[in-house]
Amino acid sequence: MIMDYSMSTVKDLPREEYFASGHRLCQGCPEAIIARLVTKVLGPNLIVVTPTGCLEVSTSVYPETAWKIPWIHVAFENAAAVASGVEAAIRALQRKGLKYKGRKIHVVAIAGDGGTADIGLQALSGALERGHDFVYICMDNEAYMNTGIQRSGATPLKAWTTTTPVGSKWRGKLQLKKDIPAIAAAHGIPYVAVASISHLKDFAYKVKKAAEIDGPAYIHVQAPCPTGWRFDSSKTIEVARLGVLTGMWVLYEIERGVFKVTVPVPQRRPVEDYLMLQGRFRHLTKEEIEEVQRYVDEQVEKVNKRAGYTAIGPVVRL
Amino acid sequence: MAQRMALSTNYAIAYAVKNCDVDVIAAYPITPQTTVVERLSEFVANGELDAEYIPVESEHSALSAVIGASAAGARVFTATASQGLALMHEVLFMASGMRLPIVMSIANRTLSMPLNIHNDHQDMMSSRDCGWIQIYISSAQEAHDTVIQAYRLAERLDILLPVCVCYDGYVLSHTYEPVEVRDKQKVLEYTPRVERPHVLDPDKPITMGVMALPNYTYEFKYQVVDALKRVPKALEEVDAEFADKFGVKYGLYEEYMCSDADVIMIALGAIASTARLAIDNLRSKGFRIGLFRPRLYRPIPVELWKSVLRKAKMLAIVDRAIAFGGCGGPLFSDVATMFINDSERPLMINFIAGIGGRDVTVRDLEQMGLMAFKSLEEGLKEQCIYFGVRGVDYGL
């Protein structure tokens, strides 16, 4: 059964499970939450493409699989290209009357930030530009977690990773996070959204909308990684929520060019509340935290300007 | 209706792909392959071919896209050459490892540096052992017919392997020859759609492109080895069926005047066509020389090759590629290996020639033949000769 928009809480999500428990992802891993939700919302008429990464290696170890819908992995940098091929095949076979007559088969790529922002960016850009009817979901855990927490283009400023260590010259990552949803939006595709697993209903709606829109859609979903971000595995949702509440992770959508903040935050929490939950920011001094706060303030101002109202409010210290 | 047309090998391939009614084409331009996908885009644009044409942003994505499409049950095609094939390299293994019946044509071209758009076999030889069936052709007609055979072969349920059809860039890709374009109806009767049991289908969900650990990976790989072993017999059958339908038979190799030959020259692709003239000229001067042109090069039908080659006293192996730092060219190494445990075997001399599009003329091939005879009489001074390269004198 496909989810409908009348859902009032997550308990109204379809009962069917297409992502089985017993996978090998870490305790508290957000990717399992994402895979389960996406397949629930769009299954069973769904084909999922996953590039190499945590989700792939933890769900498809032969002879077991966690996927109850058709699933394919090929390489690290080509999820969008493989999805292009799957979508084109369905289109051709339907047109020739050979398969899936009158049925909508959703094609969804679910990738990490490395496979999206770095090595897979070219394939993604090509697929978005060509206008394939598919959904690309980037689970952003802000580093190469599968190979052991190396920095990616999506790693935020000052975050510790195993390749942005804290030393006498370096203080974690020296560069800013790459704005991938903005890159996706620059292709002029019909739907781009940013979501979080702390706001599942918002996320579920976005997945459904993305799949129903004709043409390519891109969803960027926050994926706090207990292993790589250094927090307790019971706190995944709490960390995700604080990302949203501090204004560091703004939940918005751009539907046919129209920008909308889908989860306004009238009163913002200071970034410290988010940063200090995570071991990867433990080295930050008071001054460095203030620097991050100033950067987030600037970003929030831009968001509000774009939204046309104060969607994300001022910082209120509790 | 079959139609006789003047076509370059690139166009001959495009017509074959059209008449095989492919569903998905992924295309990226690279010289000297480009006119294949240009012509295919015209067929799609004017409705002669009902296919999805994916103008990908790289060759890596070209092969990735046809992998996705083939996995979803479509009949697919892509084409490349040179750097494009090199860029596909990692994906080549995935296509064969996933047992997808992809057909790809390759207009063989050298690899940079220096950048050069002309022909040799360096591109294919550098991707030689990646689980693909490799067929080298030597005319536009053979290219046309081989693409049709390739679908029949690749989609056999006892094979399910990708096939590349290799032909010399420019020398063949851009040379016009009269080609009998096979009738589409007959082509589709010959190579009808095959329902594959393992495709992405929500009604029968499967997991493809899995991860395996040391406890299973070896067996996965061996299944490819095993499927390749079935290929020579399968291609013979496919070739025989083709002969029944279209009246032309190609075999797994071509031999020319080999039965009584003291020296057999071995060459792939276009050089072999030129070599026929050199053989004729040397024969007229009394030299007993023959020519062996492999058509199926991966997998090598070892016993079949040996049944022809073992009768010679000397094999003159012409490689259009360099195996840097190796024991000779790639074709030489293959032929040498197949005789390694035989107490009686021919001597072997290796000529590296035609690198980066350097012409290999009839006279060059005659000279190679004479050098082989001289080495046979006076003893082998040099095993691997970089034929015609400036600044090196072998004293032969």
What CATH number does the domain containing B376 carry? Answer: 3.40.50.920
Question: Is any Cβ of chain A less than 8 angstroms from the Cβ of B117?
Answer: no
Structural contact between residues A24 and A216, judged by C-beta atoms closer than 8 angstroms? no
Q: What is the pTM of this model?
A: 0.97
Residue A83 confidence class, pLDDT cut points 50, 70, 90: very high
B183 and B325 belong to one structural domain: no
B205 and B183 belong to one structural domain: yes
Question: Is any Cβ of chain A less than 8 angstroms from the Cβ of B193?
Answer: yes
Shortest CA distance to B97 belongs to which of A106, A62, A67? Answer: A62
Q: What pLDDT was estimated at residue A2?
A: 58
The mean pLDDT values, 10 residues at a time, for chain B of 396 residues are 94 98 97 98 98 98 98 98 98 98 98 98 97 98 98 98 98 97 98 96 97 97 98 98 98 98 98 97 98 98 98 98 96 98 97 97 98 96 95 81
B47 and B130 belong to one structural domain: yes
Asked whether residue B396 is domain-assigned, the answer is: no
B235 and B315 belong to one structural domain: no
Where does a domain end: B228, B246, B264? B246
Q: How far is residue A258's CA from residue B229's CA, in Å, rounded to a whole number? A: 58
The region, left, alpha or beta by phi > 0 then psi within -120 to 50, assigned to residue A260 is beta
CB-CB neighbours of B126 under 10 Å: 19
Residue A10 has pLDDT above 90, yes or no: no
Q: How far is residue B263's CA from residue B338's CA, in Å, rounded to a whole number? A: 17
Alpha helices, DSSP H, located in chain B: 9-19, 34-45, 59-71, 82-87, 89-97, 122-125, 140-154, 184-190, 217-229, 231-246, 270-284, 302-309, 330-338, 362-378
Asked whether residue B53 is domain-assigned, the answer is: yes
DSSP assigned state of B278? H
Over range A204-225, report the average pLDDT: 97
Residue of B nearest to A67 (CA): B207
Give pLDDT tens digits for B138-169: 999 999 999 999 999 999 999 999 999 999 99
Asked whether residue B395 is domain-assigned, the answer is: no
Read off the amino acid at residue B173: S
Q: How far is residue B54's CA from residue A74's CA, in Å, rounded to a whole number? A: 18
Where does a domain end: B190, B211, B246? B246
B114 and B227 belong to one structural domain: yes
Asked whether residue B70 is domain-assigned, the answer is: yes
Q: What pLDDT was estimated at residue B396?
A: 67
B227 and B308 belong to one structural domain: no
Domains of chain A in start order, with CATH, are 10-307 (3.40.50.970)
Nearest neighbour of B64 by CB, restricted to A62, A82, A129: A82
Phi/psi of residue B387, nearest 5 degrees: -70, 125
What is the domain-level CATH number for residue B182? 3.40.50.970
Asked whether residue B306 is domain-assigned, the answer is: yes
Partners of A125 on chain B (C-beta within 8 Å) are: 57
Q: What pLDDT was estimated at residue A76?
A: 98
Residue A31 has pLDDT above 90, yes or no: yes
Q: How far is residue B132's CA from residue A189's CA, in Å, rounded to a whole number? A: 37
Asked whether residue B131 is domain-assigned, the answer is: yes
Task: Please report the beta strands in chain A, taking only residues with DSSP state E, as ranges in sequence order.
Answer: 46-49, 71-72, 106-112, 135-140, 191-196, 217-222, 252-255, 258-261
Interface test with B, best of A77, A78, A98 (most B CBs within 10 A): A78
Nearest neighbour of A89 by CB, restricted to B24, B57, B94: B24
B87 and B139 belong to one structural domain: yes
Give pLDDT tens digits for A199-210: 999 999 999 999
Partners of B54 on chain A (C-beta within 8 Å) are: 84-85, 88, 130
B295 and B311 belong to one structural domain: yes
ipTM above 0.95, yes or no: yes
Read off the amino acid at residue A110: I
Residue A94 confidence class, pLDDT cut points 50, 70, 90: very high
Interface test with B, best of A23, A69, A76, A84 (most B CBs within 10 A): A84
Where does a domain end: B197, B215, B246? B246
Give pLDDT tens digits for A112-164: 999 999 999 999 999 999 999 999 999 999 999 999 999 999 999 999 999 99
Residue of B nearest to A104 (CA): B202
Q: What pLDDT was estimated at residue B395?
A: 73
B127 and B147 belong to one structural domain: yes
- State whether residue B290 is helix, strand or coil: strand
User: Count of alpha carbons within 13 Å of A310, Cβ hemisphere only?
Assistant: 7
Q: How far is residue A11's CA from residue B261's CA, in Å, rounded to a whole number? A: 82
**How long a stretch of residues is chain B?**
396
Q: Which domain holds residue B156?
A: 3-246
Query: Which tokens go with A54?
Result: 């945590």
Q: How far is residue B287's CA from residue B275's CA, in Å, rounded to a whole number? A: 14
Partners of B57 on chain A (C-beta within 8 Å) are: 122-123, 125-126, 129
Query: Which tokens go with A299?
Result: 């970003």
B52 and B162 belong to one structural domain: yes
Asked whether residue B108 is domain-assigned, the answer is: yes
Q: What pLDDT was estimated at residue A3?
A: 66
Asked whether residue B104 is domain-assigned, the answer is: yes
Q: What pLDDT was estimated at residue B2?
A: 87
Q: What number of C-beta contacts closer than 8 Å exist between A and B?
A: 166
Tell me the nearest-neighbour CA distance from A67 into chain B, angstroms. Answer: 7
Partners of A57 on chain B (C-beta within 8 Å) are: 211
Give pLDDT tens digits for A294-303: 999 999 999 9
Interface test with A, best of B89, B200, B203, B215 (most A CBs within 10 A): B200
Residue A5 confidence class, pLDDT cut points 50, 70, 90: confident
Mean pLDDT of chain A: 96
B288 and B189 belong to one structural domain: no
B211 and B263 belong to one structural domain: no
- State whether residue B274 is helix, strand or coil: helix
Question: Is any Cβ of chain A less than 8 angstroms from the Cβ of B51?
Answer: yes
| Alpha carbon separation from B4 to B15, B37, B51, B180 (Å, rounded) | 12, 21, 24, 4
Please state the domain count of chain B: 2
Query: Which tokens go with A9?
Result: 């809480």
